[in-house]
Amino acid sequence: MRKIIINGPCEVSGEVDIQGAKNSILPILAATIIARNECVIKNCPNILDVHTSLEILNYLGCKTKFEGSTIIVDSSQISKNEIPEKLMRKMRSSIIFLGSLIARTGRAKLTFPGGCELGPRPIDLHISALKQLGISIDNIHGNLECKIENKIIGTDIVLPFPSVGATENIILASSICSGTTTIENAAREPEIVDLTRFLNKIGAKIHGAGSSKIVIEGTHKFNSSEHYIIPDRIVAITLMAAAASTGGNLTLKNIKTDLISSAIPIFEESGCLIKTYEKNIEILSPETLYSVKEVRTMPYPGFPTDAQAIIMAMLSKAIGTSVFVETIFESRFKHTEELIKLGAKIKINGNVAIIEGNKYLSGAKLQAYDLRGAAALIIAGLAAYGKTTISGADYFLRGYDLSIFPNILTINE
Ligand code: EPZ
């Protein structure tokens, strides 16, 4: 795997445009299958997971084009209803194609998805919900063979946990059907709101996205549309943490403050000055960062689990003790061993991590194990004195456009 090389410390300052949201474009690309038309999607990030989604769409028979930050998908012709394992294993969100493929073709054959190793990544909530819609799903030697028994029937579904992916799969599968489906305890992430905005533009009738109760009135008439992807809130927090860790002053452009409202108090408690404007956010870093009493990850609108590693990297050099509680994933602390190699002082106890800040981190050879862990190692490497090499650059490139860190990251084979 390719390596990232950093010669620290490197101050992160200036201005940066926030890329389109990875976790919005991925389900929306899957949703283009439902349109049976040409869809134009703007503000798309140039990241590996988007290219994997385009590979899946091309394999299924769609025509796709990616020019600049615009993707055009023509899904009028679908020639297959199965996705090969090599494509499914490349990312977690390949499972989102299940809902749209079933809705469009009535059948789907795919394997379990890949994605970051954050502990077990089960899909039991997806499967139990889709079965309630009248979809049969058989696991035959690791292949999920799915088909609509008679027709998809709208129904009331209660999710035991507000799973983002399960919420998205239910929305996609029930968009084309007779009857109304309600999802109770639905995930409330902004990326789900963006997905439903896109679906409603192509003809779906979905209400309540962003709340814990979503209502989908099935319909059969879809058309083409144009859509602009929301900014990536996790990329925004990543850049803010990079600026804070390196004593930088950074202006983020094309970001909406409400997308990261749960993270702003954390930055302020650590001593940063945050100025918010209509479409921009400015972060002014202190000479010395201070610890944060507790960072507890929660489903949206709580503090996002995807930012946990990123803020931990920032606070690795803060004065004092910070406590992290990871409540979403079973094993999302793999980055801590690597941060310790840079001089961070971290103790783990179950889903709790205790960080004693160390103002002077020093460069080291590191290994990334997942997307946001890779981002965390970059942040700490930028703050550390000396050379840091991070193996596993492709994890980072799955979700980040390299242009967000111009001239300070070198990627080599
Ligand atoms: C989405 O993953 C995001 N990925 C993740 O971002 C994000 O961390 C996660 O939501 C939580 O916000 C995309 O949108 C592509 P979940 P997803 O279903 O849908 C358990 C990133 O870095 N669960 O909300 O997989 C699961 O194990 C990625 O951009 C079940 O038990 O997350 C986890 O503990 C990482 N059974 C919890 O629920 C299921 O059927 C949250 O999972 C599904 C999930």
Q: Any catalytic annotation for residue 10?
A: no
Q: Are 23 and 29 in contact (CB under 8 A)?
A: no
374 shares a domain with 406: yes
- Could you say which of 203, 228, 253 is where a domain stops? 228
247 shares a domain with 176: no
Measured CA to CA in angstroms, residue 348 lies from 159, 315, 317, 344, 367 at distances of: 30, 15, 17, 13, 19
Selected catalytic residue, list 10, 39, 44, 116: 116
**Number of structural domains found in the chain:** 2
CATH number at residue 375: 3.65.10.10
Q: Residue length, the chain?
A: 413
Residue bearing the CA closest to ligand 1, atom 13:
23
258 shares a domain with 192: no
396 shares a domain with 344: yes
Reported as a single tens digit per residue, the pLDDT across 132-145 is: 999 999 988 888 99
Range of the domain at 255: 3-19+231-412
Looking at the CA of residue 116, tell me the nearest atom of ligand 1: 35
| Successive 10-residue mean pLDDT values, the chain, 413 residues | 92 95 98 95 97 97 97 96 90 90 94 73 91 93 89 94 97 92 98 98 96 94 92 98 97 95 98 96 96 97 98 97 96 94 96 95 96 97 96 94 81 79
Question: Any idea which residue has 């025509």 for tokens?
Answer: 63
248 shares a domain with 187: no
Residue to substitute in 23, 95, 232, 396 for testing ligand 1 pocket (most ligand atoms within 8 angstroms of CB): 23
Looking at the CA of residue 168, tell me the nearest atom of ligand 1: 19
Reported pTM: 0.96
Looking at the CA of residue 370, tell me the nearest atom of ligand 1: 22
- Could you say which of 200, 228, 256 is where a domain stops? 228
Residue bearing the CA closest to ligand 1, atom 21:
306
Concatenating the DSSP letter of every residue in 223-244 gives --EEEEPPB-HHHHHHHHHHHH
Ligand 1: centre distance to CA 329 (Å): 8
37 shares a domain with 140: yes
